[in-house]
Each structure stands twice: as structure tokens, then as C-alpha cells.
Structure 1
Amino acid sequence: MSHVSLPSLRPSACPALSRIVAARDGGLCRVKLPGGVLHAAQALAIADAAEAHASGIVELTNRANLQLRGVKSGHEAELSRRLRDAGLGPQIPAAQAAWQATVADDVRNLLLSPGAGIDEYALCDTQPLAREILVLLQSEPRLAALSPKFCLLLDGGERLAALDHPHDLWFAAMEAKADDEPWFAIGLAGQPTALQDTAANPALAAVRARDLPAMIMALLHTFLDVAAPDENRMRDLLRRLSGADIVTRAATRAAIELRCDSTICAWRRAPADPGRRFGAWRQRDARLWHVGGQPPLGRIDTHGLRALPMLAEEYGNGTFRLTPWQSVLIPDVPAAAVADAKQRLASLGFLLDAQAPLARLIACAGSTGCTKGLADTKRDALDLAQRLPDGVDVHLSGCPRSCAAAHCAPYTLLAVEAGRYDLYRQEPLPACAPLTTSDVAARFGVRIGTNLTLEAAAQLLGAAARSTLDD
């Protein structure tokens, strides 16, 4: 019997380890990292593979993964093989079919805090739970029917957390008594509601930590049971069914006890501080620190990718972590080595100051890497950094798909042609709107400027920021 290529078995526009998607600058290969953790040997293997089979450019993603750009024609199979051999694919029995490896890869969309297990403010260590959940996700063939974009958040209450990234399912640790196991609040199509927020995305119920893996599987099966063919994401299903109904059906299916009392409705997640991804911060073990930095515009070359594991082995535990903000953390750095680790990371070109202009800019691949991009957003972001007003965060998007930012940025420059952008300002909304090309205003906010040059955009950004401060 002739071999059928994997992309034919599972057509999708989403790149994956074994599904190389065509882009303007060559193929695109995405590598999903469980918990965002990358071991030193794996980083070196990625660097070698990127040089041999791709352009050598590696991008960090807003889901704490990475992707190789410019995969050479005819090199796709060998690139995927080398990455799998480095232990970067899903861990499934070797006897299972090759197509199931890609299905398993697609469902590994479980996001943790970069501080999981080490954050001094965490309510619990989510890493053991995450390992158990990943085994279940990649072992269930039926989950092949889920969209490769279907994503889950497992939140341990860390101070360093991405609360503005929407997810199909989210689970957030709640305060527990000393003699009680943690309970996890459950929500759909959004993110945990922080203390300062209104009732947007409220928790629907809570389950014990021991029941969480089974509850996740029940929710996924329930979604597949009731979703129509055109309802690919949880937000689609919620237009027709209530979240409470979906959660109740799943709990009944798995015979799991739910908490649905008034304390759940009133629960709010403690505030997060994304700025803790920059610089050095004390961990739960007060003798150790994590040191973080952001490569300009989320890209690392193979030189940097080889240097990072050296730093991780010299100063930390031999691993480093990717974050949902396209940055890296080196964990478990002894206090005496923090200054040296920061200096070495900065010498590689990583930004350690949250107020640096390039640390406040996000840009997609743009017209040099994407056929849908209308402007060279990476180059334009470098130009804008020279003019960017203080305290302003901006997302440059080459088209309405918003690939580079999972969250709603305060300001978005949406390309209309080469070197020209419409400027949007995000207004306070009860919840982040769906990422759809047909709902640009809802996604990016209110348009406050049209067909702007970068110079004009910088001037208008400064005026808009001053106006906001005066309000």
C-alpha cells in the first residue's frame, strides 16, 4: 500500500512538527514545548536542524512554543525526523501510526505560567497535573476532530501569568486551606477574571485538583458531542449553548462533583505582573532566582539558540523556559550568579528592561515572510522603536488575522499597504473579541488614524497616550 502524506490526512493551515506549512520565505515548522520548557540538548538540536534544513531563524510564539522559518523545499521530512529524534514530539507508543503522532501534536495546546513550580506566589505547582493531562490528550484518537487552535490554560495562581490570552478552556487554582487539596475554577472561551475586572469570563464551577484531568477530557468529549460542524472553537458553541450547561454535561459524563456555590461566582484571580518576565526575580526557594529577557521582536538566530543552553547549564538547571510574550526565562539561578547571568543574557541582545522600546513592540512576520502581509512589519517595528513614545505598547499586524498577538494590545497598527497603517486603540470591553478577520473593529478597538506613515503614527500614538493620561 502506498504511503499517504500526513498533511493529506489532516489538512490544516496550522504549522506543526510534521506538517510544514508554506510561507513566503519558505516552510514554517512549529515545535510545541510541554510547559514551555526546553532542555539544553534539545535547543542545540533545534539550532543544528534550523541551520541544515531552514533559514536559521527561530521565532518564539505567543503560546510559549517556537517555530523554524524558511524550511527548504525537499527538507521537510528530514527536519521533522531530526526534531522528533531530539524528543520534541508527542510521547506516544512507537507502535502507533505515524499520522497519530501529528494528531497528538495538534492537541498539545496546554499553556502554563512560565513560573510554574517556581513562582513564589503560586497557589500550587501545576507541572505534575500538566504532565498527566498531556498524556491523556495525546493518547485519545477522538481528539483529532478538534481544531489545532483549540487551547487550554492551566493556571496555578502565579504572579507571572498571561491573563489576557483567551483560551477555549481555562482552569485556575483557588486558595485552599492548609489541610485541603486545591480546587480549580473552570471557565470557557476566555481567561480567568482578575480582581480589578468586572464579571467578564466568570468562573462557572470548580473541581478538585484530583478530578481535573478527567474533567478536561469530559469537557473535550462533550464539546465534540454537541458542536456543529462549523463550531470549531468554544466561543462558537457558546453562541448556542450556555457555559453552565456544557460544564454540567461534562461533570455528569465523568461523574465528577462540581462546586457551583456563590463563592465560585464571586471568585477573582489575584493580579498578575507580566513585567516579571524581564530581569531577575526571586523564586519560591528564596535561594534561587529566575532571569528573563526578550529577543527583539521575538526572533533568535542559531547563535543565540546555542548560547542560551550554555547559560542555562552554567547558571541554572540546564533548561530554559519560553513565555507567552515571546521571551525566555532561565530558572534556578543562585543569588550569587544573578548579576553575571543578566549580563550574559544582555550581551546576546536580549532586552531585560520592560520599558525598552523594542520590549513594547510586537510584530508579525509581515510581507517578507507571509503572503497575506501588506507591509514589512518587522522592519517597520525597528523603525518605530526609534520614535515610540514612552509607556506605549504597540502591535504591528500585516493583516487582520493578528497572528503575533493572542491578547488585545493597547494599540494596534494594521497594515493597509507597504509602510502605511491604520491605528486602532483598544477600548475597555467586557471580554476580548474573537480573532476573526470579519470583526476588525471588535478585535483591535476603535480606529483613530488611517493610512498613516510610521512618523505620523508615532505622533498620533504620543497624542493618544497623553489624552488617555489626561482623562
Structure 2
Amino acid sequence: MLAAMPAPSAPPARTGDDRCPGAVRLHTADDGALARVRLPGGLLTSRQAAALARLSDELGDGHLDLTSRGNIQLRGLPDACGAELGNRLREAGLLPSEQHDRVRNVAASPLCGLDGPASADVQAWVRELDRLLCTNPNITQLSGRFLFGLDDGRGDIAALAPDVTLIATDDGHALLSYAAAGSCLRIPAAHAPRAAVLAAEWFLDERRRTGSTAWRIAELPAGQRPRLGELGQRLIAEGISAEPAERTPRPGAPTAPGLVPGPGGRTALSVTAPLGRLSTGQWRLLHETADAAGTGELRVTPWRGIVVPGLPSDEAPARLAALAAAGLVTSPDSAWHRAGACAGRPGCAKSRADVRADAAACLAHSASGQPLPVYWSGCERRCGHPTDGRWVDVLATDDGYRIAIRDGATETAPVTVPSADLAGAVATARTTTR
């Protein structure tokens, strides 16, 4: 049996500027500039999706990368394209406020309202929250990594431990907490988006008061974290009733690929991008499917997937089969399901290997139905790695790949294997139950 070992320690105190990329604040990589386009709640229209495909083809490398926040990244861009990119994103309605661009990090339950009645319309919360963020000058002080999470009650988004979490209840209320903690405030659902903004402002106030440089709630020492009682008083002063409450965590699961039957004879399609990356051809097939048979909308998930809502149930299986034929992951039994990788070589100078190529080679020869998620990283930064549950950590080293199973605060004793033995070692780790 593999022994449990402590996982890496908490993030160190922040000492530099927040260099998180945005839509017009580009990051320079070895394969060109990178832009990150925020999609609050993962929501976009097929027209906006078509605009992203054109941008990738005309300015980028012909691909779109999905992030663990449900955002989109364009790679291989010219260094001087920021102005043109910003103008075209504004025209598509994807950049409502350049000043607020990087703080529009909002994750929401992707299947809300699609697989049955919902406790609240969290997509409506998303739109209102985004409007409030973009009209608030104070909120621009948040880092580009601060996350708002809107959970419809199933527990999928709460499991990500967002910095400010809203969870819908069945009685017209919402539970507001920091980092999805058990202790929370019970507030009217109608005021949920405004309360989330006030909670973020309270975090900024407390950070200034203590002199902290933290970007996220989890980076604050326990004694410096915002107190719910004081936040409750602030909400009440703003006309929002708030009372202390406790919540029982629900084991919310990530959105799985496949058919999602719903009410009214409608079915949604859920697919995953192989290793989090889509060609523009695959992306176009998705938004054309949304236009031809769905509602004309897409929902990008925090698990590097896409949901196409509202197809007629008798038409949905054939549409899903067409997406599978295009190379998208359409079944939870696929070895590619819940498998991810960072950019690796040649795009990242810090990477020790072409991790995407090595991961693809492993998965092409793997059996289906493997239970544990797996993530390949080219260096110790592990950009984009899973943040919840158990997962297999495959890290490139100078001597091959280091493999361990991570689970919260612990990891198994790692083993290092040469690239030639990687596929078998990863398959064994993914099927480890202890």
C-alpha cells in the first residue's frame, strides 16, 4: 500500500504584482501571447462562440483552451494584438468593462435548470453579479484569481471552495460563505448577487486593515479571515436580512459527459475537451449544434467541458454521436474523461517535457472506465491542476515522470518512472483505491 505523505504546504505570502492574464493584458509565452477571456458562469451565445473561433483562427493558433474556472484562453497571439483583440471582444459583448476584466471570475452550476427543477436560477444570479461587478470601482482591487461560486444546491461548485460562495436553498434563500465553509449566512435569494459583492468588499476591507497581501481567502491566516458576524451586520445595514446558519456539505460531482435528460422533452449535451483543448473546427461544431438544435447558448464548465442546452430529446443522441466523431469526449467511461494537462512544451519555457503529447500517448492506449482524475504538469507550478478530491499527479522531471495520488492535505509516496513506462504506471495509479 502506498504511504500517505504531507502534501505541499500552503501558498507563501504574496510579494509581487498579480500577473494573471486577461483579455487585453496578455501573457507572453514561448508560443506567442496568451489571452484569457472571462466567461462569468461559463455562459456565452453561439454568436459569441463564433467570434472566439474567428479570433483564434485569424490571430491565434487555431485552438481554444478551457480553464478550470470555465474561461477561455487563446494562444499563439501576436504580442501587439491587444488593441484589436479588445475591440473585437467588446463588439461581441465579451469585454463589458476593461477595468473589471480580470475580476469577472464566476463559476456556476452548469446543469442548473437542465436536469430538473432548480432551487434558484443561478444563471440569472451570474448575469446580475457580473453587472454589479462591472459597475463597482472598488472591486477592481481583487486579484485575477479571486473566485465567486454560485451553486444551485447540488454541491458541485461549492466543492471548488470559491472565495465567496452562494448556495441556493429550496425555500427562496441562499447560503453565503467564504471558501464554502460550513458556517454561513442565510440571506434572501433575491439579494444573493449584491450580498456576494459586499462579501468581496469586506474581504478587501479586512485585507487592508491587517496589512495582508493575500489574493484569496485561503491565503489568509485563520485570525485574519473576515468574520461572518461582522459581514452579517454590514449586510443588514445595506438592507439585506442575514442570520447565522450551518450547512451540511453535499458531495457534488463535476458535470459528466453524455446526454442530460430534462423537463419538457428537452435534453442537454455535455462533452469534455480532450486535455482541455479544442480545435476551432470542434468549437464551431458545438456552437452550430446550439444554433441548429438547441437554444443558441453554450455553458462552459469548470471541468473543461461544454454543455449545449435545450435539444429535442429524440434528436439529441445523433447530435452527441456527431460530437464524438469529431473527437470530443462524450462518455464518462472514456479514459480521456477527467484527464488534463498544462500547456507544456513548446508553449511554456518552464516545462521539462511536451506533456500534452505524452499524455495523449498514454490515454490512447488506456482502458476505459478509470475512476481517478489525472493531470500532467511540466513543472512544479502545476498550472491548472485539480483543486478538489483525489487525483493522480503526473509531474515531468529530469529523469522521467513523478507520479503520486493527491487527496487534500496528503499525497501517496511518489514514484518516478521513465517515459517509456508512463502509460502503465498512470493506469495503475488511476485504478488505485487505497
Match of 1:218 among 178, 186, 198: 198
Corresponding residue for residue 34 of structure 2: 28
Structure 2 partner of 1:436: none
Structure with the larger RCO, 1 or 2 (CA within 8 Å, 6+ apart): 2
Which residue of the partner structure matches residue 70 of structure 2?
A: 64
- Cα deviation, residue 116, structure 1: 2.7
Please state whether the residue corresponding to 1:374 is helix, strand or coil. coil
Question: What amino acid maps onto 2:24 in structure 1?
Answer: S
Name which of 363, 377, 382 aligns with 1:402: 382
Q: Give the counterpart of 1:39 among 25, 42, 45.
A: 45
- In 2: Cα distance, 1:406 partner to 1:462 partner: 18
RMSD: 2.4
1:345 alignment partner in structure 2 = 323
Shift of 1:133: 1.5
- 1:446 equivalent among 393, 411, 414: 411
Q: Which residue of 2 aligns with 1:437?
A: none
**Contact conserved, 1:113 with 1:155, CA < 8 A, in 2?**
yes
Query: Is 2:120 aligned against 1:124?
Result: yes
Indicate which of 178, 181, 188 corresponds to 2:178. Answer: 188
Aligned to 1:232: 215
Question: Could you tell me how far apart the structure 2 residues matched to 1:257 and 1:62 are?
Answer: 33
Q: Secondary structure at the match of 1:144?
A: helix
How far does the alpha carbon of each residue in 1:271-320 deviate from its partner, in whole angstroms, 9 at most, with x for none? Answer: 4332x53111112x231010111121111112222222211111111122
Instruction: State the match for 2:231 in structure 1.
Output: 247
User: Cα–Cα, structure 1 residues 139 and 82, in superposed 2: closer, same or farther, change >3 Å?
Assistant: same
Check whether the contact 1:422–1:447 (CA below 8 A) recurs between aligned residues. no
- How many equivalent pairs are there? 412
Could you say what secondary structure the match of 1:55 adopts? coil
In 1, the alpha carbon distance for the partners of 2:106 and 2:71 equals: 11
Q: What are structure 1's unaligned runs of at least 5 residues?
A: 1-9, 91-100, 177-181, 192-200, 430-441
Q: Which moved more, 1:400-409 or 1:133-142?
A: 400-409
Partners of 2:229 and 2:380 lie apart in 1 by: 33
CA distances 1:162-184 after superposition (whole Å, capped 9, x unpaired): 443231111111232xxxxx211
Q: Give CA deviations for 1:169-201 in whole Å, capped at 9, x if unaligned.
A: 11111232xxxxx21112212x4xxxxxxxxx3
Closer/same/farther in 2, CA of residues 205 and 455 from structure 1, 3 Å limit: farther
1:91-240 equivalent positions in 2, closer than 5 A: 101-120=97-116, 122-158=118-154, 161-176=156-171, 182-189=172-179, 191=180, 201-227=181-207, 228-240=211-223
What is the correspondence of 1:371-386 to structure 2 with a 5 Å cutoff?
Answer: 371-386=349-364
Q: 1:41 to 1:461 in 2, by over 3 A?
A: closer
**Superposition pairs for residues 306-345 of structure 1, below 5 Å?**
306-345=284-323
CA distance in 2, matches of 1:116, 1:25: 37
SS of 2:224's equivalent in the other structure is coil
Q: Distance in 2 between matches of 1:278 and 1:221?
A: 37
Equivalent-residue separation in structure 1 for 2:205 and 2:42 (angstroms): 30
TM-score normalized by the length of structure 1: 0.81
Q: Which runs of 4+ in 1 moved over 6 A?
A: none
Deviation at 1:11, TM superposition (A): 6.3
Answer whether contact 1:205 1:258 (CA < 8 A) is retained.
Answer: yes
Q: TM-score, normalised by structure 2?
A: 0.88
Give % identity: 28
Task: Give the equivalent residue in structure 2 for 1:277.
Answer: 256
Q: 1:332 Cα shift?
A: 0.2
From the two aligned structures, give the one with the greater strand fraction. 2
Equivalent residue, structure 2, for 1:3: none
- Aligned-partner Cα distance in 1 for 2:18–2:143: 9
Name the amino acid aligned to 1:186.
L
1:53-86 deviation line (CA, Å, top 9, x unaligned): 1111211111111110110233232122112211
Distance 1:247 1:455, change over 3 A: farther
